[in-house]
Structure 1
Amino acid sequence: MPKPKKNQVVTPQPQADKLARALGLTMPLYLKREDLHPLKSHKGRSLPPMIDHYLKFGHSNFVISSSGNAALAAGLYLKKINSSQKNKINLKIFVGKKIPADKIKPLQALTNKNITIVQVTNPKQSAFLAQKQGAVLLRQSLDNLAPKGYADLYDELRRIKELKTIFIPTSSGTTLAGLFMASKGKIQLNIVQTDFCHPFVKSNLPTPQKSLAGAIVDKVGHRKTEVLKALKKSKGAGYVADDWDIKNAIKLAYKTEKIKLSPNSALALVGLLHALIKGWQPKGAIALLITGK
């Protein structure tokens, strides 16, 4: 198998033996630690290639509507680019007026005259307006470039011996689409959403006002056709987690592996737990995508 590309960022994918034993698994279980990516999450796979593409065409003004991993990845990447060149790139991050302090703090650490945060009533609408005025809107759920960035992620995952299954915390479905594209359907792909937001998975659970996994927010589901095709072709499934599931997964991961999962990352483990409860039998190694905060 060829080595990773020269400039490819490689994240750890340790085997989780204690967690596997606690679950009664006879197949190896791995944690793909995208939370340890230099850009802080799996979004660091997709956003840099998107930005690079637009930079090649002379664009220098970007906007994003995000209060989480996507904005952080874009901000960190553009700050790095700006530190090494005279002609600076601008990024405007639109966030809601009620953004929690723990979410805005990492973004505020990035701000300077080129990277700014704007608190508005409707961040998405403001970002679309900025796009109409000439800025490049970084939105993974609508950009066909976005899934391609996850080819590197699959390149690393496929190095796991006898890997057969991946569980993916899912909002827009872009990560799933990218992994399906790269794997050509050879690996079973499963998605995990929340009872608050699950456009790709049917559920009888009542809809709460919010979920602990606050990054799962795409209720429109622009990629629904792609997502359902990927699940069908890869023989995967979709699962829905409530807050009890998430808390339980966080406790279990810490008890067995001493890893502090974020609620969003914990969704991957919830998906595996639900699959096992339903009688699913793994046919090879399993990977849980630990996405980030």
Structure 2
Amino acid sequence: MTPLLKINSVYFKREDQNPTGSAKDRAISLQIQNLITKNFKSAVISSTGNAAISAQHYCQLSKIPLNIFVSPHTSKAKLKLLYPFTVSSRPISDAIKFSKTNHAYLLRQSTDPIALLGYQQIGFELLKQLSKITSLFIPVGSGTTLLGVSQSLPSNVKIYAVQPASFCPIASTFDQNFIPEINSLTDALGVKYLPLKNQVLLAINQSGGGGVVVQNQAVLNAQIYLNKNQIITSLEGALTLAGYQKIANTQNLGAFPVILLTGAKR
């Protein structure tokens, strides 16, 4: 169980303290178990970094060969933690092709129901740690984490998807109060393939929550706040806090809001 930390009136769920430093461990660990159960002999993944780092760890523990495809835009800090890997301009397509050609288990979380089971664990833990949770803010790429967590929380917990102003296909459905930006400070959320988008939007709507689009400067300001409180986490975490800060005074978030910190600083 990852820690839940309270600062002033806000709670922080420290998924950045998972074994490999990200929430991806929740899904990947179960996917590897499923791989073994189904007698696959190898795995393949396309990733912006954290999922591949997690997959590498759990595959090594189970002695499963892993092939990794990464985008040319993957951060160098994350690439230093991976070996070997293949840089591809079409990492998703290449991973899918490799999976079909080599009968390798595709560790793609947005198309694997096992991943949702992994993320449900976060919701179950939150209910044990803070049974009165009223709202939850989650940084969103494909939306798999949000969808999984939503499946284990009661319907009265408002769920908010937070995305950067540079790419916000889900959050902008709810929040049009932003200025589009070209560059993003968060490198883990620029997911173009969104097979779960409609399910994610439905889960958000059913919770009574919404979406929040955040500017880069707000991310930097939130990161300063986290650092002052000895929380050293990824910029995705700062983005999520900034999303909460943007609407905290205009929406009823309840007395027990939670910020999901999904990854360690690399």
Query: TM-score, length-normalised on structure 2?
Result: 0.91
1:5 aligns with: none
Partners of 2:13 and 2:261 within 8 A in 1: yes
* Structure 2 runs not aligned, ≥5 long: none
Q: 1:142 aligned to 2:142? A: no
2:255 aligns with: 284
Superposed CA offset, 1:180-210 (max 9, x none): 1111423211110111221112236454333
Match of 1:243 among 216, 220, 228: 216
Superposed CA offset, 1:222-255 (max 9, x none): 2111111111111111001121111011012223
1:127 aligns with: 95
* Counterparts in 2 of 1:292 and 1:128: CA distance versus 1, 3 Å: same
Partners of 1:62 and 1:90 within 8 A in 2: yes
Aligned amino acid, residue 217 of structure 2: W
Aligned amino acid, residue 162 of structure 2: V
* Counterparts in 2 of 1:31 and 1:118: CA distance versus 1, 3 Å: same
DSSP 3-state at the match of 1:288:
strand
* Counterparts in 2 of 1:224 and 1:98: CA distance versus 1, 3 Å: closer
- In 2: Cα distance, 1:99 partner to 1:229 partner: 30
The 5 Å alignment of 1:71-110 reads: 71-82=52-63, 89-108=64-83
DSSP 3-state at the match of 2:113:
coil
Q: 1:165 aligned to 2:135? A: yes
- In 2: Cα distance, 1:181 partner to 1:245 partner: 30
- Cα offset, 1:220, TM superposition: 3.4
Query: TM-score, length-normalised on structure 1?
Result: 0.83
Partners of 2:163 and 2:171 within 8 A in 1: yes
Superposed CA offset, 1:267-289 (max 9, x none): 22011111124x11332311110
The 5 Å alignment of 1:255-266 reads: 255=228, 257-266=229-238
- In 2: Cα distance, 1:77 partner to 1:52 partner: 9
2:30 aligns with: 49
Q: 1:40 aligned to 2:21? A: yes
Q: 1:30 aligned to 2:14? A: no
Identity %: 32
* Structure 1 runs not aligned, ≥5 long: 1-9, 18-27, 83-88, 109-115
1:155 aligns with: 124
1:192 aligns with: 162
Deviates more, 1:205-214 or 1:166-175: 205-214
- In 2: Cα distance, 1:141 partner to 1:98 partner: 20
- Cα offset, 1:122, TM superposition: 2.2
Partners of 1:200 and 1:221 within 8 A in 2: no
Partners of 1:50 and 1:146 within 8 A in 2: yes
- Cα offset, 1:98, TM superposition: 5.0
- Between the two proteins, the alignment pairs up a number of residues equal to 259
